[in-house]
Amino acid sequence: MSTHPNASGLDQPPPARTMSRRRLLAAMVGSAVAVGAGVWASRKWAKPIPGGAVMNPRLFTFVGGETGTWSVLQIKAVVGETLPDVKRLDILNTTVPALPDAAKWRLHGVTSNERYATRAEKDLLVAKQAALGRPGATHAALIPIRKNAKWWGLTQDERRGIFEDRSHHVKTGLKYLPAIARRLHHCRDLGENEPFDFLTLFDYAEADSAAFEDMVAELRASEEWKFVDREVDIRLVREGV
């Protein structure tokens, strides 16, 4: 039987209501083999699959288990339910239709267009930001986040007001570029039972660990974080190249 991540992020048999959507997704992605290319598995091309469909090249899967490039240092619940402890994290630029042997959880997310950044902010980000996977970036954090119903009930302009005008998310983050590299994955529209709304991923050199802590603390103290009702902080390390 196929499995389905429930609200806790663990794999469970799918609820009847979402089964057909899962099957459709499985049909679309076929039996795509999970292949990781390089540290961040960044594969830029769309992979054709049997039946003529094309796998979404923006889809990433994070598998917590016994294999993968990253050793897990710590999994800590910041708010809400945690995820089970695992030894390693694998990051795959594809879907993973079933939970691999010995893995305890998997999370899916897609990269997407910006919702909140203005042109001026985007230009500043593009000018300063680094890509994930630099040789010296031996430390990483995967921070899955869910926001509450109140947040999702707001309008776009109300959310932008909280996100930037009052919480200064971009202004704060910009201070830490290019030391910290990041990638944001959206999960909310993948299905009804996704355990998180976002999977946020960062990497940095060991020397920038303290700066990363400062940044996370600053953001968590902001008004935006009052709407976060589940957040798990997963810290990772790998050998330098």
The one segment of 19-27, 38-46, 79-87, 178-186 that binds ligand HEM by CB under 6 A: 178-186
* 56, 216, 222, 223: which one binds ligand HEM (CB under 6 A): 216
* 83, 86, 170, 187: which one binds ligand HEM (CB under 6 A): 170
Number of residues this chain uses to bind ligand HEM (CB under 6 A): 22
Closest approach, Cβ 149 to ligand HEM, in A, equals 13
Taking alpha carbons only, the member of 224, 61, 49 closest to residue 145 is 224
* 59, 173, 185, 194: which one binds ligand HEM (CB under 6 A): 173
234 binds ligand HEM (CB under 6 A): no
Residues 6+ apart with CB under 8 A from 57: 43, 44, 45, 46, 47, 93
* 174, 190, 205, 211: which one binds ligand HEM (CB under 6 A): 174
* 9, 198, 201, 203: which one binds ligand HEM (CB under 6 A): 198
Whether residue 108 contacts residue 186, with contact meaning beta carbons closer than 8 Å, is answered with no
117 binds ligand HEM (CB under 6 A): yes
SS3 sequence, 119-133? HHHHHHHHHHCCCCC
CB atoms within 10 A of CB 198: 19
Between the two ends of the chain, the Cα-to-Cα distance in Å is: 40
Cβ closest to ligand HEM, residue 40 vs residue 198: 198
Q: Can you point out the beta strands (E) in the chain?
A: 4-5, 11-12, 59-65, 70-79, 88-92, 105-110, 139-147, 181-186, 198-204, 228-237
Enumerate helices (H) and strands (E) in the chain, giving the number of each: 6, 10
CB atoms within 10 A of CB 204: 25
Hunting for tokens 């996977």 — which residue is that? Answer: 133
Q: Under rule CB under 6 A, which residues in 35-54 are in contact with ligand HEM?
A: none
Cβ closest to ligand HEM, residue 26 vs residue 184: 184
* 56, 67, 200, 222: which one binds ligand HEM (CB under 6 A): 200
Residue 168 Cα distances to 122, 172, 215, 220, angstroms: 14, 6, 12, 11
Closest approach, Cβ 234 to ligand HEM, in A, equals 11
* 88, 106, 139, 169: which one binds ligand HEM (CB under 6 A): 169
Please report, as ranges, the residues that interact with ligand HEM according to CB under 6 A: 114-117, 125, 143, 145, 147, 169-170, 173-174, 176-177, 180, 182, 184, 198, 200, 215-216, 219
